[in-house]
Amino acid sequence: MELPAVCSARFGDNLLLCVRNHVYSHKKYSKNKITIKYIRPEKGYSSKSVRGTIYCSNQQERNAGLPSDHIGTSAKVIYAAAPAMGHNQESHPECNSRVPAILTALEKMKLTSKFRGLDVVEVQNFRPATTDDIRSVHAGPYISGLEKAMYQASEKGLIFIEGSGPTYATATTFQESLLAAGAGISLVDSVVAASKVSKDPPVAFALIRPPGHHAVPKGPMGFCVFGNIAIAARYAQRAHGLKRVFIIDFDVHHGNGTNDAFYEDPDIFFLSTHQAGSYPGTGKIDQIGSGSGEGSTLNLPLPGGSGDTAMRKVFDEVIVPCAQRFKPDIILVSAGYDAHLLDPLASFQFTTGTYYMLASSIKQLAKDLCGGRCVFFLEGGYNLTSLSNSVAETFRAFLGEWSLAAELDDPSYLHEEPLNKVKQIIEKVKHIHSF
């Protein structure tokens, strides 16, 4: 399948030269030093040693997972960053400053291994996903078509591969999307390995882009290239025998790609909360799965203005009973931070405190139901300040520390939530799903 280029833009000569040589470098942002990593897709990737990180060998077989003694029994958070510095369009909300903004905030708020020792571990030397990994969710012609489109992107600098989002691609998009999916897969390996030696394994967070939950099996969509979380769910089943996967998607937009990938699958429960009527317009309450997967998709479209009180109610009355009934082997989370009050793309009223509550509650849910196995995947979140503060709050929740939301949030911006409508929609979803 050829992916049409509908537009082009200029791109840096140096980066194109790197791509021609099949070598891409990006800067790892930290307060005190910059580490340059060189990625050679055919051979995995390597970088110089930095304190508090994990390095895997360039193993051919990945499904053994990271050795649990590399993680340490005290680790509370594991994360991997794939900032996709080459995948960027100027003034596009899904730009390459998102992950560096998060990493800078984590450093500034002393939430990295430099300050936390082995409580916080960064997995650095992860491999890109293979095309077989991607093929577990996406159609072969899409994957090969995107790879071919990279030549066009090299010539033109930037192309659009899908118009609804709109979703762009640059010369490095294919490789960097494989790397994003690979980060999620590696974190699945890590939490599985840790859960074999600890009843309280660390929660993992894939700080990756491009995001994934809108990408449909046949192609890209809504800023998303590959369905990172869907690929990781299939990998967890295939490589680790974790048959039952519970996916929570709290991005403000409906995760239509994940929804579609598992719509007929009874072993993967997909639960999405999203703003009713927002992009892409799917995720109606009566979309519940089909065939043998009927009932294993739960869509909860909430009215604009929904915020902290609404989400606490949804968590207690919808997410918890669904997860308890499903009995998952692992919980994966599409963590979108665009439901924040300050985010420009939607009109929910989540605060950093809401994200702390979600992270803390989901961590406990995973501990209660599936040996603590839980991986978060970065999806949306376009106001860099609210995005990075909210991810920092997520890390604090994983660490079991007090929230600093009272210092970060300004309640004077908040309006009354539409709680009557929220109650009605919760009752309706309970009725549809019989709980």
Where on the chain is the footprint of Zn ion (CB under 5 A)? 251, 253, 336, 338, 380
**Measured from the CB atom, is 310 or 335 closer to Zn ion?**
335
Q: Cβ of residue 231: shortest distance to Zn ion, in angstroms?
A: 18
Cα-Cα end-to-end distance for the chain: 44
Q: What type of residue is 243?
A: K
**Is 214 a catalytic site residue?**
yes
Measured from the CB atom, is 192 or 216 closer to Zn ion?
Answer: 216
Q: Work out how close the CB of 75 gets to Zn ion at its nearest, in angstroms, rounded to a whole number.
A: 29
Cβ 253 to Zn ion, closest distance in Å?
4
Q: Cβ 212 to Zn ion, closest distance in Å?
A: 11
Between 240 and 253, name the residue whose CB sits nearer to Zn ion.
253
Choice between 172 and 272, CB closer to Zn ion: 272
Question: Is the CB of residue 121 less than 8 Å from the CB of residue 113?
Answer: yes
- The residue assigned the tokens 């519940």 is 288
Q: How far apart are CA 53 and CA 122, in angstroms?
A: 5
Closest residue (Cβ) to Zn ion?
A: 380
Taking the complex as a whole, the smallest distance from the CB of residue 336 to Zn ion amounts, in Å, to: 4
Q: How far is the CB of 320 from Zn ion (least distance, A)?
A: 23
Q: Which is nearer to Zn ion, 257 or 380 (CB)?
A: 380
The least distance separating Zn ion from the CB of residue 340, rounded to whole angstroms, comes to 11
Residue among 138, 214, 253, 254 flagged as catalytic: 214
CB 379 → Zn ion: shortest distance, Å?
Answer: 6
In this structure, what token pair is assigned to residue 385? 């300040």
Which lies closer to Zn ion via its Cβ, residue 189 or residue 251? Answer: 251
Sheet holding 374-378, edge to edge: 53-54, 120-123, 77-82, 203-208, 374-378, 330-335, 245-249, 268-275, 297-302
Q: How many whole angstroms separate alpha carbon 356 and alpha carbon 16? A: 40
Question: 3-state SS string over the chain?
Answer: CCCCCCCEECCCHHHHHHHHCCCEEEEECCCCCCEEEEEEHHHEEECCCCCCEECCCCCCCCCCCCCHHHHCCCCCEEEEEECCCCCCCCCCCCCCCHHHHHHHHHHHCCCCHHHHHHHEEEECCCCCCCHHHHHCCCCHHHHHHHHHHHHHHHHHEEEEEECCCCEEECCCHHHHHHHHHHHHHHHHHHHHHHHCCCCCCCEEEEEECCCCCCCECCECECCECCCHHHHHHHHHHHHHCCCCEEEEECCCCCCHHHHHHCCCCCCEEEEEEEECCCCCCCCCCCCCCCHHHCCCEEEEEECCCCEHHHHHHHHHHHHHHHHHHHCCCEEEEEECCCCECCCCCCCCEECHHHHHHHHHHHHHHHHHHHCCCEEEEECCCCCHHHHHHHHHHHHHHHHCCCCCHHHHCCHHHCCCCCHHHHHHHHHHHHHHHCC
Which residues are catalytic, by number? 214
